[in-house]
Amino acid sequence: MEQQTADTRIRGLERRAGDLQKAGLLTEARDAVEDIDATLSLLPTRLQEARKRGYVFRSYLEAQIDALGSQWQGMRGDVQREIERRARDLEGDLSQVEPAVRRLQPYLGRALSNAQPTIAAVESQLSSVERRVEAALGAVRGMFDSVRSSVQETRSQVDECVRMLDLMDQASFGFQPGEAGIAAVRAKWLQDTRKEGPKGVLFLTDRRFAFERREKVATKKVLFITTASEDVKELLWEAPIGALTGANASEMRQALVLKKEQLTLTFKHPSRVREVLLQLEADSETWGALINRVVSGDIDRERVGGIGSALAQQAEITVPSKCPSCGANLDVTTIKGMTAVKCPYCGSSVPLVGG
């Protein structure tokens, strides 16, 4: 039986030593500092562009970005100095890494059993240096982890706004003048025995819910194999905000591992849909909480211009006094998000003024 050589173990330790040399320069911390710099420099412009495109919520973002920038500038110098100090302290340990690994060269091609004592000694030495490097890196990270986490969270919030605007721009249906997008999420409308249904995007604006189908559909199959397909995009249903009577988040697990986020929305008249079950590509409880804030009007506190701006928007929407088709007096009840009312006499759809 051929004896196993020490080559694989030695080459592995050489790679490990190379990684350790790089880590000892605290490259991870240096990269994190550069990432924070880059993110904070880009966020104001990215948010400003989103505002120009019509995103009017999360009014706190400008002040939040400014505060993070000031906080980071106040500590950045200390972080940089600490990185350099810690890296210098590690130089002595790192200088021993290469000679330690070089001791293994004579064992290349030889039996692993002969090299095992030296390999074990080198492994122990590398592990000791790795612990010191990790301790130094942890100390530096501890100085700015909180700020980095806040910067990443703020970037995610701005990115969500931009993604929603992109989805709105790509929509097959139009948005009403003055209608402001709040959030959008990719979802599946479960219809067939609550398991299957069209895939698309659920839009939530300050006036309505709208589900647009967006998926690739097979147009030709040969022996159950798709040979041709097309992208389908169509508005399947919409409902005014004021018609919502319930938003219930839930989870469905499959095989004890896969978790699927579900959201059940129930509506009253004049919505044409009464209940929809959606499978979201996002946390359903977060979406349920957001919907409740929209329905209650609490979200308007985050509108640029505040509640006063929201009230001005609502004041612009009024019901005409007479039906333009039959001339009958219109005395109908409106709910938040309605853009038209039905004349109780002739059945005509009468657009709301400003809607």
Three-state DSSP state, 269: coil
- Structure tokens that stand for 33 in this block: 């500092």
User: What's residue 321's pLDDT?
Assistant: 64
Domain spans, the chain? 7-160, 181-313, 316-355
- Structure tokens that stand for 80 in this block: 């940089």
Question: Cα–Cα distance between 352 and 245 in angstroms, integer?
Answer: 23
Q: Any idea which architecture 181-313 has in CATH?
A: Roll (2.30)
> Across the 355 residues of the chain, what is the mean pLDDT of every consecutive 10-residue run?
78 94 94 97 97 96 97 97 97 93 91 91 96 96 97 97 97 91 96 81 96 83 64 93 92 64 92 93 94 93 75 56 68 63 67 57
CB atoms within 10 A of CB 10: 21
User: What's residue 311's pLDDT?
Assistant: 53
User: What's residue 355's pLDDT?
Assistant: 45
User: What's residue 172's pLDDT?
Assistant: 95
Helix (H) or strand (E) holding 201: strand 199-205
Question: Cα–Cα distance between 219 and 227 in angstroms, integer?
Answer: 8
Lateral strand order in the sheet of 181-190:
225-240, 208-222, 199-205, 181-190, 275-280, 258-267, 244-254
With a CB cutoff of 8 Å and minimum separation 6, the contacts of 97 are 17, 20, 21, 125, 126, 129
- Is the four-CA dihedral 272, 277, 278, 283 of positive or negative sign? positive
Question: Cα–Cα distance between 233 and 168 in angstroms, integer?
Answer: 12
With a CB cutoff of 8 Å and minimum separation 6, the contacts of 253 are 259, 260
With a CB cutoff of 8 Å and minimum separation 6, the contacts of 134 are none
With a CB cutoff of 8 Å and minimum separation 6, the contacts of 288 are 247, 248, 249, 263
Three-state DSSP state, 11: helix
Question: What is the b/e burial string over 173-196, where b = at least 16 CB atoms within 10 angstroms of the residue's CB?
Answer: eebeeebbbbbbbebbbbeeeeee
- Structure tokens that stand for 153 in this block: 């969270």
- The number of angstroms, rounded, from the C-alpha of 229 to the middle of its chain's C-alpha atoms is 29
Question: Cα–Cα distance between 305 and 180 in angstroms, integer?
Answer: 13
Question: Which has the closest alpha carbon to 330: 314, 342, 338, 313?
Answer: 342
Cα separations in angstroms, 157 against 6, 43, 51, 162, 306: 52, 10, 13, 9, 19
With a CB cutoff of 8 Å and minimum separation 6, the contacts of 304 are 51, 56, 57, 59
